[in-house]
Structure 1
Amino acid sequence: MKKIGITLLTAFVGGAVAIGGYKLAESKYAGSLSLEDKQKVYFTNNPTTAITASTGNLDFTQAAAIVAPGVVHIKTTYKPNESRGGGTMDDMFNEFFGNRGQRMQAQPSMASGSGVIVSNDGYIITNNHVVEDADDITVILTDKRSFKAKVIGRDPNTDLALIKVGGTNLPLVKIGNSDNVRVGEWVLAVGYPFAMESTVTAGIVSAKARSIGILNQQRQSPRFRGNGRQMPEEQPQANTSIESFIQTDAAINRGNSGGALVNANGELIGINSAIASQSGNYEGYGFAIPINLAKKIVDDFMKYGSVKRGYIGVSFDPLDAEKAANYNVKQINGLYVNGVVKGSGAESAGLKEGDVITKVDENEIYASADLQERVGRLHPGDKVRVTYLRDGREYNANIVLKGDDQVNMAANTVSAAASKALSQLGATFAPVNATQKQRFNITAGVAITRVQSGGLLDSYDVPAGTIITKVNGKPVTKPSDVVDAINASKNNMVSISGFTPDGAMMRSTFPIGE
């Protein structure tokens, strides 16, 4: 009996020492923990009852109850007489962000959105457009506690921001795995629509890897939330924005921006960011940033204060049957490489213009979003395995990503001026194929594969199918030659010559605005 008592006492003391040491280590190293580590520590110390997935009985009460306390209401204030309203991004985000158009009034303007607590020491994920330019940020919890928040980091390229409040032992939402999300599964959207109290709506995942053009400020005339204009066309030009949204039909409205998209187990799979609507309110199309992408951005904010982004170093055009025919390739899925950045990892690995990227790290690539999200989770110095087609043969290349401080993407692909010019022209281009060469009796040139409504070519009635042989007097044989010719322009004019789709010779000159 005495031996048993001694054994129990020893076990008790040993356990106490272990727990005390763990707590000491936790306290000492809390500041250096990543977001994922913070979550592991919290849920190890605070185990939760397993939530039964609602596939069968459609009972979301458990998931809603566990998530709602960790989703906060964010109120922002802006100084008066500052002309920040009315810009393109303001127009696009206005329906989520509130009354930004009132900033021109004499009184300070206010707006509201949502956020998700992801660590019990006060880190909160939200959208960049929720806190951008805010002079004062107030965070209100479901239990009515209120905190002032400071911005830790903002990233317009993903529309993500990380803010922090001074509270402790805060409720938080458990982070899930957005890679495991399946189209058709049930999800909940949690936030503060129309500045109301915490609101939970349910729906399904409608699609994954959606790109809607909202973050690419270089594209013109986007249709977003009912302004009556057209959705932007994909354009093969340099673009640092990353869009790979989870699309859902869970009701999302103004004020939901920055809130949580969770699965039936109450796990955070996305940050609600945007809607597509003709009326400005919910019409069944909501978009959330995958949490696996958000985790990387947040960890960068916590560690560096800014995002450390790696680049493969290519510009590309997503393929479909029509584009494949225009590019004279058989592959209808993948990304057609129409430019390789000098000094980039892609150039070092041997990629060339005309290659078709089909896989990244063995994951099939169907659209630009598939590539951008995968690479967007990585850092400069990380490696990716790229599978590509060239002349009908498949090749693999291990590419070392480089940061924007190692290779100037804008200078080597599309300059800011050329990017603006291409956007104003409103067209995509492809090298002429053998049939076009024979028909027009030419040896080289580029074909206009698509004309965007509202662009200069559309305004001057230059249709798709037009063959361009020269730009500003310089022969062109590939899309990048168009860029080079525009770069060389010194009078803000672009002159194109070639053939109309019916074979007539043509020449047109367009002014390119400042």
Structure 2
Amino acid sequence: MKKFSTLFLVALLSGVVTLGAYKVLFDNNGYFSNNSNSGITTEANSFGKKVGLSTEILDFTEAAERTIHTVVHVKNVSRRTVSNPILEYFYGYKGGQSQEQVGTGSGVIISEDGYIVTNNHVIKGASEIEITLNNKKTYQAKLIGTDSKMDIALLKIDVNEKLPYSAFANSDAVKVGEWVLAVGNPYNLTSTVTAGIVSAKARDLNTSGMQSFIQTDAAVNPGNSGGALVNTRGELIGINTMISSMTGSYVGYSFAVPSNLVRKIIEDLMEFGNVRRGILGVEGGELNGIASKELGIDQTQGFYINKVTKNSGAEKSGLMKGDIIIKLDEQTVSTFADLSGYINTKRPNDKVQVTYLRDGKTKTIPVTLNKNEFISTEFKGIELENIEASEKKRFKIDYGVRIKAINSQALKQYEEELVGNIILSIDNVKAIDVETVSKLIDKKEENQTVRIEMINKSGEILRVIL
């Protein structure tokens, strides 16, 4: 009986200790409870978020499953004729041998009826484009349009079934350090998935200010170009477009065109057939320690306005030289890429709330964006515009500007022969687009003669002097 009493007492004490420990550690305000004010999960020292590497936190299976069936393999087939100069010289042989070249990449289905977005460089120069879905079905694709500046192309396949597609997320809300998946379909191996984090935002690799990439350390190799960059919910936040590497293979840095910019580009291509960009109407540069010291200002982040374009929305709204833009709508502006990346998602006549610093005071004003002056330009009474993807394919070229109209009285008699022709070069400088031509003609005197090479509507090369 004495042994039983002792055993009962030990069991009772054990139960009390266990219950007390649970209360202290887990219940209500216990050490490991969500309401605890001690340990590593307090808001003061961990920003209110638990950090760890548990299986639940790193489970990407749902995001991968949502995405892999929306990513396709893109096959680019181009043909060129190779001549034999020896046969031509000795025997007058004018024929040539046709050679087929094949390039591959990835693409992302963005609608259930078969619209697909990929990189422009994946389908550049293609005479045929073949799409292979993740279920191995193949289709011939039609090129809807391209934006070479942002390296985006829009394709369409005709299907008699509803396709799985990727939903767009708000890429402006993406945060550095956020987990992401890069999904591609390289070399027709079906979809492959790699994981990483967002390393940086608003990266401009060529310092032109046009680019504004999302940088990630998720492994992306050449065959993955045009594939999807998605968040942990499987939503599209970017189109993988390039890597930074000395070897041509992945070494830790890859870049994606943000989804907000991609969506705007494809909507423009669907609606207008080309990309329409609005401009703020300011020139200048981003601030840093050196630039701020030279300008004699304390602010080291933002966009410093050095010039306001005449008759632009910026001028009409009252922006001035010396103002420092620090925010567009709710988007913080620290660099030129921040500013241009956000403006590139807008169209002419859109209104943007511009927050800026002037004389140490913060002000916000609405600015209406103008039509990009480089959509069209006039040269010696000839109105020029960018060529479309169908013309590039028809004439087997990847650059040029089309003569839209003749406004010069001296050239009116040649209007019928000139309108529709595509100018390839001016004074041996390639007429890549109207922006290039506009910059070129700004350097020339009004009465200076120029040599122009063009293709007429029949595909013949013409050379003229104006």
3-state secondary structure, aligned to 1:348: helix
Residue number in structure 1 paired with 2:350? 382
The letter for the 2-side match of 1:128 is: N
The letter for the 1-side match of 2:213 is: F
Q: Quote how far apart the aligned CAs of 1:488 are.
A: 7.7
- Structure 1 distance, partners of 2:311, 2:68, is 48
Is the CA contact (8 Å cut-off) linking 1:153 and 1:306 kept in structure 2? Answer: yes
3-state secondary structure, aligned to 2:139: strand
Q: Quote how far apart the aligned CAs of 1:133 are.
A: 2.3
Residue number in structure 1 paired with 2:234? 266
Is the CA contact (8 Å cut-off) linking 2:73 and 2:187 kept in structure 1? Answer: no
Q: What aligned pairs does 1:356-371 form with structure 2 within 5 A after superposition?
A: 356-371=324-339
Is the CA contact (8 Å cut-off) linking 1:341 and 1:409 kept in structure 2? Answer: no
- Structure 2 distance, partners of 1:290, 1:303, is 20
2:155 to 160, 163, 171: 163
- Does the C-alpha gap of structure 1 residues 106 and 278 become closer, same or farther in structure 2, counting only changes over 3 Å? same
Q: Quote how far apart the aligned CAs of 1:350 are.
A: 2.2
Is the CA contact (8 Å cut-off) linking 2:145 and 2:274 kept in structure 1? Answer: yes
Q: Quote how far apart the aligned CAs of 1:212 are.
A: 1.3
The letter for the 2-side match of 1:123 is: Y
Q: Quote how far apart the aligned CAs of 1:373 are.
A: 2.1
The answer as to 2:161 corresponding to 1:172 is: no
Q: What aligned pairs does 1:350-361 form with structure 2 within 5 A after superposition?
A: 350-361=318-329
Q: Quote how far apart the aligned CAs of 1:195 are.
A: 5.0
- Structure 2 distance, partners of 1:281, 1:105, is 33
Is the CA contact (8 Å cut-off) linking 2:325 and 2:333 kept in structure 1? Answer: yes
- Structure 2 distance, partners of 1:403, 1:367, is 23
The answer as to 2:186 corresponding to 1:193 is: yes
Q: Quote how far apart the aligned CAs of 1:355 are.
A: 2.3
- Structure 2 distance, partners of 1:378, 1:370, is 13
Q: What aligned pairs does 1:41-56 form with structure 2 within 5 A after superposition?
A: 56=56
2:340 to 355, 366, 372: 372
- Structure 2 distance, partners of 1:163, 1:386, is 35
> Between the two proteins, what is the percent identity of the paired residues?
47
The answer as to 2:298 corresponding to 1:330 is: yes
3-state secondary structure, aligned to 1:65: helix
- Structure 2 distance, partners of 1:185, 1:253, is 21
Q: Which consecutive residues of structure 1, in runs of 5 or more, have no partner in the other structure?
A: 1-52, 84-103, 214-233, 412-482, 491-514
2:243 to 275, 284, 288: 275
3-state secondary structure, aligned to 1:372: helix
Residue number in structure 2 paired with 1:457? none
- The more displaced of 389-398 and 248-257 is 389-398
What is the aligned-residue RMSD (CA, Å)? 3.0
Residue number in structure 1 paired with 2:117? 125
Q: Quote how far apart the aligned CAs of 1:60 are.
A: 1.9
Residue number in structure 1 paired with 2:436? none
- Structure 2 distance, partners of 1:172, 1:107, is 35
Cα deviations across residues 48-69 of structure 1 (Å, max 9, x unaligned)? xxxxx99834222222122111
The answer as to 2:143 corresponding to 1:151 is: yes
- Structure 1 distance, partners of 2:225, 2:166, is 16
Q: Quote how far apart the aligned CAs of 1:399 are.
A: 1.0
Is the CA contact (8 Å cut-off) linking 1:55 and 1:186 kept in structure 2? Answer: no
- Structure 2 distance, partners of 1:396, 1:66, is 41
The answer as to 2:213 corresponding to 1:250 is: no
Q: Quote how far apart the aligned CAs of 1:351 are.
A: 2.1
The letter for the 2-side match of 1:61 is: T
The letter for the 1-side match of 2:365 is: A
Normalised to the residue count of structure 1, the TM-score between the two structures is 0.58
Is the CA contact (8 Å cut-off) linking 2:181 and 2:218 kept in structure 1? Answer: yes
Cα deviations across residues 434-491 of structure 1 (Å, max 9, x unaligned)? xxxxxxxxxxxxxxxxxxxxxxxxxxxxxxxxxxxxxxxxxxxxxxxxx9xx94899x
Residue number in structure 1 paired with 2:67? 67
- Does the C-alpha gap of structure 1 residues 267 and 55 become closer, same or farther in structure 2, counting only changes over 3 Å? farther
- Structure 1 distance, partners of 2:315, 2:71, is 44
The answer as to 2:151 corresponding to 1:183 is: no
3-state secondary structure, aligned to 2:168: coil
- Structure 1 distance, partners of 2:97, 2:335, is 43
Q: What aligned pairs does 1:171-320 form with structure 2 within 5 A after superposition?
A: 171-194=164-187, 196-213=189-206, 234=207, 242-320=210-288
- Structure 2 distance, partners of 1:410, 1:365, is 34
Q: Quote how far apart the aligned CAs of 1:164 are.
A: 0.4
- Does the C-alpha gap of structure 1 residues 261 and 322 become closer, same or farther in structure 2, counting only changes over 3 Å? same
3-state secondary structure, aligned to 2:72: strand
The letter for the 1-side match of 2:126 is: A
Residue number in structure 2 paired with 1:431? none
- Structure 1 distance, partners of 2:121, 2:251, is 21
Cα deviations across residues 312-362 of structure 1 (Å, max 9, x unaligned)? 111221110111112222211011122322221112222233322111114
- Structure 2 distance, partners of 1:204, 1:105, is 48
- Structure 2 distance, partners of 1:337, 1:79, is 48
Aligned residues: 322
Is the CA contact (8 Å cut-off) linking 2:132 and 2:188 kept in structure 1? Answer: no
- Structure 1 distance, partners of 2:376, 2:354, is 22
Residue number in structure 2 paired with 1:111? 103
3-state secondary structure, aligned to 1:247: strand
The letter for the 2-side match of 1:138 is: E
Cα deviations across residues 34-56 of structure 1 (Å, max 9, x unaligned)? xxxxxxxxxxxxxxxxxxx9983
3-state secondary structure, aligned to 1:246: strand
The answer as to 2:105 corresponding to 1:137 is: no
- Structure 2 distance, partners of 1:363, 1:121, is 33
Q: Which consecutive residues of structure 2, in runs of 5 or more, have no partner in the other structure?
A: 1-52, 84-95, 380-438, 447-466
Q: Quote how far apart the aligned CAs of 1:194 are.
A: 4.8
The letter for the 2-side match of 1:175 is: F
The letter for the 1-side match of 2:306 is: N
1:397 to 365, 389, 393: 365
Is the CA contact (8 Å cut-off) linking 1:119 and 1:172 kept in structure 2? Answer: yes
Structure with more of its chain in strand, by fraction = 2
Residue number in structure 2 paired with 1:342? 310
Report which of the two structures shows the higher radius of gyration computed on alpha carbons.
2
3-state secondary structure, aligned to 1:322: helix
The letter for the 1-side match of 2:110 is: V
Q: Quote how far apart the aligned CAs of 1:409 are.
A: 9.3
The letter for the 2-side match of 1:71 is: V
3-state secondary structure, aligned to 1:370: helix
The letter for the 1-side match of 2:143 is: V
3-state secondary structure, aligned to 1:112: strand
Is the CA contact (8 Å cut-off) linking 1:194 and 1:253 kept in structure 2? Answer: no
Cα deviations across residues 84-139 of structure 1 (Å, max 9, x unaligned)? xxxxxxxxxxxxxxxxxxxx995121101111001110001111221222111110
Is the CA contact (8 Å cut-off) linking 1:54 and 1:60 kept in structure 2? Answer: no
